[in-house]
Amino acid sequence: MLACSRSLNSAVVSALRLLRSNQTAVTGQLERPLSTQTNGEVRIAKILKEKFPSASSLKVVDISGGCGAMYEIHIESSEFKGKRTVQQHQLVNQALKDEIQNMHGLRIFTDVPQH
């Protein structure tokens, strides 16, 4: 985990650039296209899909360089309607309570579909 923590800042910067440019992710020596997900991304997405079945949009990105220490989640669900942002984030945190224990950080972005 120490080696992962050292590269966390550069991984976060790389991930943010990646999200803006929508290109291929380069993490250390590993190059992975956006269409491939890490095991952690798949696991977290599965949990959120089960917890928020009406989610119209869900994106989970490992922004720690692939080691699973930090994730960014974008989720849009009608289940958030009428709830303040903090309440929406609390629902996501509750859904991921077991996963969060092994993380260094988590960035959550929630929204309600505009229908």
Q: Which residue has the higher pLDDT, 13 or 66?
A: 66
| Between 35 and 9, residue with greater pLDDT | 35
pTM of the model: 0.69
Tokens of 76: 């849009």
Mean pLDDT across 33-47? 85
What the chain holds in terms of domains, given with CATH numbers, is 39-111 (3.30.300.90)
Tokens of 31: 């190059």
- Predicted pLDDT of residue 51: 97
Distance CA 87, CA 107 (A): 15
| Residue 29: pLDDT band with limits 50, 70, 90 | very low
